[in-house]
Protein backbone atom coordinates (compact mmCIF):
# COMPACT_ATOMS: atom_id res chain seq x y z
CA UNK A 1 0.00 0.00 0.00
CA UNK A 2 1.33 3.43 -0.97
CA UNK A 3 0.30 6.03 1.55
CA UNK A 4 0.76 9.73 2.21
CA UNK A 5 0.67 11.00 5.77
CA UNK A 6 -0.11 14.70 5.68
CA UNK A 7 1.25 16.14 8.90
CA UNK A 8 3.41 13.02 9.20
CA UNK A 9 6.31 14.72 10.99
CA UNK A 10 4.04 15.70 13.88
CA UNK A 11 3.20 13.92 17.10
CA UNK A 12 0.43 11.57 15.96
CA UNK A 13 1.43 11.50 12.30
CA UNK A 14 4.95 10.27 13.02
CA UNK A 15 3.58 7.38 15.06
CA UNK A 16 1.37 6.42 12.11
CA UNK A 17 4.38 6.60 9.80
CA UNK A 18 6.38 4.26 12.03
CA UNK A 19 3.54 1.76 12.19
CA UNK A 20 3.02 1.86 8.41
CA UNK A 21 6.72 1.23 7.80
CA UNK A 22 6.63 -1.79 10.12
CA UNK A 23 3.78 -3.09 7.95
CA UNK A 24 5.93 -2.73 4.83
CA UNK A 25 4.11 0.25 3.31
CA UNK A 26 5.62 2.95 1.11
CA UNK A 27 5.11 6.26 2.91
CA UNK A 28 5.28 9.87 1.77
CA UNK A 29 5.34 12.43 4.57
CA UNK A 30 3.96 15.86 3.61
CA UNK A 31 4.55 18.44 6.31
CA UNK A 32 5.41 22.13 6.56
CA UNK A 33 7.43 21.42 9.75
CA UNK A 34 5.76 24.27 11.63
CA UNK A 35 5.08 21.93 14.55
CA UNK A 36 6.53 18.69 13.21
CA UNK A 37 10.14 17.53 13.44
CA UNK A 38 12.34 15.73 10.93
CA UNK A 39 13.77 13.76 13.85
CA UNK A 40 10.34 12.20 14.42
CA UNK A 41 10.64 10.14 11.24
CA UNK A 42 13.28 7.73 9.95
CA UNK A 43 13.86 8.62 6.33
CA UNK A 44 14.91 5.67 4.19
CA UNK A 45 13.93 3.44 1.33
CA UNK A 46 10.28 3.31 2.40
CA UNK A 47 9.86 6.90 3.63
CA UNK A 48 10.29 10.20 1.83
CA UNK A 49 9.66 13.70 3.19
CA UNK A 50 8.14 16.50 1.13
CA UNK A 51 8.13 19.87 2.85
CA UNK A 52 4.95 21.69 1.88
CA UNK A 53 1.78 23.36 3.11
CA UNK A 54 -1.78 22.10 2.59
CA UNK A 55 -2.83 25.63 1.65
CA UNK A 56 -0.62 25.31 -1.46
CA UNK A 57 -2.76 23.16 -3.76
CA UNK A 58 -0.15 22.70 -6.48
CA UNK A 59 2.54 21.17 -4.26
CA UNK A 60 -0.05 19.22 -2.28
CA UNK A 61 -1.61 17.73 -5.41
CA UNK A 62 1.78 16.70 -6.76
CA UNK A 63 2.61 14.90 -3.51
CA UNK A 64 -0.76 13.13 -3.32
CA UNK A 65 -0.61 11.76 -6.86
CA UNK A 66 0.08 8.03 -7.04
CA UNK A 67 -0.95 7.10 -3.50
CA UNK A 68 -3.65 4.66 -2.42
CA UNK A 69 -4.64 6.17 0.95
CA UNK A 70 -4.36 9.60 2.54
CA UNK A 71 -3.93 10.10 6.29
CA UNK A 72 -4.84 13.72 7.00
CA UNK A 73 -3.39 15.03 10.27
CA UNK A 74 -2.24 18.50 9.24
CA UNK A 75 -3.98 21.12 11.38
CA UNK A 76 -3.70 24.17 13.53
CA UNK A 77 -4.33 22.30 16.78
CA UNK A 78 -5.73 23.57 20.06
CA UNK A 79 -8.64 25.48 21.52
CA UNK A 80 -6.63 28.39 22.93
CA UNK A 81 -4.54 28.73 19.78
CA UNK A 82 -7.70 28.98 17.68
CA UNK A 83 -9.22 31.57 20.02
CA UNK A 84 -6.11 33.69 19.61
CA UNK A 85 -6.08 33.39 15.82
CA UNK A 86 -9.42 32.10 14.42
CA UNK A 87 -8.79 33.22 10.83
CA UNK A 88 -5.54 31.25 10.56
CA UNK A 89 -7.29 28.27 12.16
CA UNK A 90 -9.96 28.33 9.46
CA UNK A 91 -7.47 28.79 6.63
CA UNK A 92 -5.52 25.71 7.65
CA UNK A 93 -8.19 23.40 9.01
CA UNK A 94 -11.11 24.16 6.69
CA UNK A 95 -9.62 25.37 3.40
CA UNK A 96 -6.62 23.05 3.75
CA UNK A 97 -8.91 20.04 4.20
CA UNK A 98 -10.90 21.06 1.14
CA UNK A 99 -7.66 21.14 -0.87
CA UNK A 100 -6.89 17.57 0.23
CA UNK A 101 -10.36 16.38 -0.68
CA UNK A 102 -10.22 17.98 -4.12
CA UNK A 103 -6.79 16.49 -4.77
CA UNK A 104 -7.97 13.04 -3.70
CA UNK A 105 -10.91 13.29 -6.10
CA UNK A 106 -8.71 14.41 -9.00
CA UNK A 107 -6.25 11.58 -8.32
CA UNK A 108 -8.95 8.91 -7.92
CA UNK A 109 -8.05 8.19 -4.30
CA UNK A 110 -11.04 6.72 -2.54
CA UNK A 111 -9.95 6.83 1.09
CA UNK A 112 -8.96 9.65 3.41
CA UNK A 113 -8.56 8.99 7.13
CA UNK A 114 -9.24 12.39 8.67
CA UNK A 115 -8.11 13.35 12.17
CA UNK A 116 -11.01 15.06 13.90
CA UNK A 117 -11.49 15.92 17.56
CA UNK A 118 -13.86 15.53 20.50
CA UNK A 119 -13.82 19.35 20.50
CA UNK A 120 -16.71 19.19 18.03
CA UNK A 121 -19.04 18.14 20.88
CA UNK A 122 -18.44 21.06 23.22
CA UNK A 123 -19.69 20.53 26.77
CA UNK A 124 -21.35 17.09 26.61
CA UNK A 125 -24.98 16.57 27.55
CA UNK A 126 -24.32 12.99 28.67
CA UNK A 127 -21.48 10.55 29.36
CA UNK A 128 -20.02 8.56 27.71
CA UNK A 129 -20.24 10.51 24.46
CA UNK A 130 -21.28 8.48 21.44
CA UNK A 131 -21.08 9.45 17.79
CA UNK A 132 -24.71 10.63 17.76
CA UNK A 133 -24.14 13.28 20.41
CA UNK A 134 -25.13 16.75 19.20
CA UNK A 135 -22.46 19.14 17.93
CA UNK A 136 -21.85 22.24 20.05
CA UNK A 137 -18.21 23.29 19.60
CA UNK A 138 -17.12 26.05 21.97
CA UNK A 139 -14.07 27.25 20.03
CA UNK A 140 -13.01 28.07 16.46
CA UNK A 141 -10.87 24.92 16.58
CA UNK A 142 -13.89 22.73 17.31
CA UNK A 143 -15.86 24.46 14.56
CA UNK A 144 -13.05 23.97 12.06
CA UNK A 145 -12.67 20.26 12.83
CA UNK A 146 -16.41 19.76 12.49
CA UNK A 147 -16.32 21.56 9.14
CA UNK A 148 -13.58 19.19 7.99
CA UNK A 149 -15.68 16.19 9.04
CA UNK A 150 -18.71 17.43 7.14
CA UNK A 151 -16.58 18.05 4.06
CA UNK A 152 -15.23 14.48 4.17
CA UNK A 153 -18.68 12.99 4.65
CA UNK A 154 -20.15 15.09 1.84
CA UNK A 155 -17.49 13.71 -0.54
CA UNK A 156 -18.56 10.21 0.50
CA UNK A 157 -22.11 11.00 -0.60
CA UNK A 158 -21.28 12.97 -3.74
CA UNK A 159 -18.28 11.06 -5.12
CA UNK A 160 -18.66 7.63 -3.52
CA UNK A 161 -15.53 7.95 -1.41
CA UNK A 162 -14.95 5.92 1.77
CA UNK A 163 -13.56 8.62 4.02
CA UNK A 164 -13.26 7.94 7.74
CA UNK A 165 -13.33 10.65 10.42
CA UNK A 166 -11.69 9.76 13.73
CA UNK A 167 -12.72 11.88 16.69
CA UNK A 168 -9.74 11.89 19.03
CA UNK A 169 -10.17 12.48 22.71
CA UNK A 170 -7.02 13.36 24.76
CA UNK A 171 -4.06 11.79 22.99
CA UNK A 172 -0.63 11.49 24.60
CA UNK A 173 2.57 9.53 24.14
CA UNK A 174 5.93 9.28 22.41
CA UNK A 175 6.91 12.24 20.18
CA UNK A 176 4.58 14.65 22.00
CA UNK A 177 6.74 17.59 22.97
CA UNK A 178 6.04 20.37 25.42
CA UNK A 179 3.78 23.12 24.07
CA UNK A 180 2.16 25.73 26.29
CA UNK A 181 -0.96 25.40 24.11
CA UNK A 182 -0.86 21.63 24.10
CA UNK A 183 -1.89 18.61 26.11
CA UNK A 184 -1.86 18.80 29.88
CA UNK A 185 0.38 15.73 30.26
CA UNK A 186 3.58 17.12 28.65
CA UNK A 187 2.96 20.44 30.40
CA UNK A 188 2.80 18.74 33.82
CA UNK A 189 5.84 16.55 33.15
CA UNK A 190 7.91 19.39 31.74
CA UNK A 191 7.25 21.63 34.72
CA UNK A 192 7.87 18.92 37.31
CA UNK A 193 11.14 17.85 35.69
CA UNK A 194 12.17 21.52 35.76
CA UNK A 195 11.40 21.58 39.51
CA UNK A 196 8.47 23.95 38.99
CA UNK A 197 4.99 23.64 40.45
CA UNK A 198 2.09 22.65 38.25
CA UNK A 199 -1.13 24.63 37.85
CA UNK A 200 -4.62 23.23 37.46
CA UNK A 201 -7.31 25.48 36.04
CA UNK A 202 -10.51 25.04 38.01
CA UNK A 203 -10.88 22.63 40.93
CA UNK A 204 -9.25 19.67 39.21
CA UNK A 205 -12.41 17.58 39.24
CA UNK A 206 -12.89 17.97 35.49
CA UNK A 207 -12.41 14.65 33.71
CA UNK A 208 -10.64 13.57 30.53
CA UNK A 209 -10.34 10.40 28.46
CA UNK A 210 -6.60 9.92 27.82
CA UNK A 211 -5.60 7.57 24.99
CA UNK A 212 -2.12 6.43 24.02
CA UNK A 213 -0.90 7.61 20.62
CA UNK A 214 -0.01 4.02 19.70
CA UNK A 215 -3.69 3.13 19.91
CA UNK A 216 -4.61 6.19 17.86
CA UNK A 217 -2.09 5.18 15.18
CA UNK A 218 -3.58 1.70 15.07
CA UNK A 219 -7.09 3.14 14.71
CA UNK A 220 -5.90 5.09 11.68
CA UNK A 221 -4.43 2.02 10.03
CA UNK A 222 -7.48 -0.12 10.79
CA UNK A 223 -9.60 2.60 9.15
CA UNK A 224 -7.42 2.53 6.03
CA UNK A 225 -7.33 -1.25 5.78
CA UNK A 226 -11.12 -1.51 5.95
CA UNK A 227 -11.76 -0.63 2.31
CA UNK A 228 -15.54 -0.47 2.71
CA UNK A 229 -15.47 1.24 6.10
CA UNK A 230 -16.46 4.90 6.18
CA UNK A 231 -18.08 7.38 8.55
CA UNK A 232 -17.22 8.70 12.02
CA UNK A 233 -15.70 6.96 15.02
CA UNK A 234 -14.76 8.07 18.53
CA UNK A 235 -11.17 7.23 19.45
CA UNK A 236 -10.37 7.24 23.16
CA UNK A 237 -9.58 4.75 25.88
CA UNK A 238 -13.17 4.44 27.05
CA UNK A 239 -12.07 5.48 30.55
CA UNK A 240 -11.78 8.90 32.18
CA UNK A 241 -9.88 10.30 35.14
CA UNK A 242 -9.91 13.61 36.95
CA UNK A 243 -7.13 16.12 36.35
CA UNK A 244 -6.36 15.86 40.07
CA UNK A 245 -5.84 12.10 39.68
CA UNK A 246 -3.66 12.67 36.62
CA UNK A 247 -1.52 15.27 38.38
CA UNK A 248 -1.03 13.14 41.48
CA UNK A 249 -0.20 10.05 39.40
CA UNK A 250 2.49 11.92 37.46
CA UNK A 251 3.86 13.42 40.69
CA UNK A 252 4.06 9.93 42.20
CA UNK A 253 5.85 8.52 39.15
CA UNK A 254 8.36 11.39 39.37
CA UNK A 255 8.69 11.19 43.17
CA UNK A 256 7.65 14.83 43.38
CA UNK A 257 6.29 16.37 46.59
CA UNK A 258 5.57 19.91 45.43
CA UNK A 259 2.17 21.54 45.95
CA UNK A 260 -0.36 21.93 43.15
CA UNK A 261 -1.42 25.50 42.34
CA UNK A 262 -5.07 26.06 41.44
CA UNK A 263 -6.14 28.87 39.10
CA UNK A 264 -9.35 30.17 37.52
CA UNK A 265 -11.08 28.11 34.84
CA UNK A 266 -10.13 28.85 31.24
CA UNK A 267 -12.56 29.76 28.48
CA UNK A 268 -13.37 27.16 25.84
CA UNK A 269 -12.61 24.11 27.96
CA UNK A 270 -15.21 21.45 28.69
CA UNK A 271 -15.64 20.09 32.19
CA UNK A 272 -16.07 16.40 31.41
CA UNK A 273 -15.15 14.13 28.52
CA UNK A 274 -15.48 10.35 28.13
CA UNK A 275 -15.62 8.47 24.83
CA UNK A 276 -18.06 5.73 23.96
CA UNK A 277 -15.79 3.63 21.71
CA UNK A 278 -18.17 0.72 21.15
CA UNK A 279 -18.64 1.63 17.46
CA UNK A 280 -14.89 1.67 16.82
CA UNK A 281 -14.52 -1.65 18.62
CA UNK A 282 -17.28 -3.23 16.55
CA UNK A 283 -16.43 -1.96 13.07
CA UNK A 284 -12.69 -1.20 13.24
CA UNK A 285 -11.60 -3.88 15.68
CA UNK A 286 -10.22 -1.10 17.88
CA UNK A 287 -8.98 -2.38 21.24
CA UNK A 288 -7.06 0.29 23.16
CA UNK A 289 -4.76 -0.18 26.10
CA UNK A 290 -6.15 1.20 29.36
CA UNK A 291 -3.07 1.03 31.62
CA UNK A 292 -2.68 4.79 32.10
CA UNK A 293 0.09 4.65 34.72
CA UNK A 294 2.24 2.32 32.61
CA UNK A 295 1.72 4.48 29.52
CA UNK A 296 2.61 7.60 31.51
CA UNK A 297 5.82 5.94 32.72
CA UNK A 298 6.78 5.04 29.15
CA UNK A 299 6.13 8.62 28.08
CA UNK A 300 8.12 10.04 31.00
CA UNK A 301 11.10 7.86 29.99
CA UNK A 302 10.86 9.17 26.41
CA UNK A 303 10.50 12.75 27.63
CA UNK A 304 13.64 12.41 29.78
CA UNK A 305 15.55 10.96 26.81
CA UNK A 306 14.57 14.01 24.74
CA UNK A 307 15.89 16.32 27.43
CA UNK A 308 19.13 14.31 27.57
CA UNK A 309 19.50 14.47 23.79
CA UNK A 310 18.93 18.23 23.83
CA UNK A 311 21.76 18.68 26.32
CA UNK A 312 24.05 16.08 24.74
CA UNK A 313 23.31 16.00 20.99
CA UNK A 314 24.79 13.22 18.88
CA UNK A 315 27.75 14.30 16.79
Task: Return d(Cα 175, Cα 138) in angstroms, integer.
Answer: 28
**CB-based contact 148:119 (threshold 8 Å):** no
* Alpha carbons 51 and 30: distance in angstroms, whole number: 6
Respond yes or no: is residue 181 known to be catalytic: no
Largest CA distance in the chain: 58
Q: What share of the chain is helix, strand, coil (3-state, %, to 5)?
A: 45, 20, 40
List the catalytic residue out of 141, 155, 178, 299: 141
Instruction: Calculate the alpha carbon distances from 97 to 187, 234, 261 in Å.
Output: 29, 20, 39
Which residues are registered as beta bridge partners of 69?
A: 3, 111
Phi/psi at 113 (5° precision):
-100, 110
Neighbours of 41 (CB within 10 A): 24
Nearest Cα residue to 204 out of 245, 257, 161: 245
Q: Which residues are tagged catalytic?
A: 141
Amino acid sequence: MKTIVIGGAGFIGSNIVSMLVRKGCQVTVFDNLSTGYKTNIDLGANVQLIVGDIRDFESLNKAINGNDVIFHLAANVGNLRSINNPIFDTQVNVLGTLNILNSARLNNINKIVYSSSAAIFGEPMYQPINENHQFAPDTPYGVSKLAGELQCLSYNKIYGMKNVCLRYFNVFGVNQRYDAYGNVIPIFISRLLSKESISIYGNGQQTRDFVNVKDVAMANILSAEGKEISGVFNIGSGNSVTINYLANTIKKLLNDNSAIVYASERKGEVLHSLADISKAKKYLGFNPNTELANDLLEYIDWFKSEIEEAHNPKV
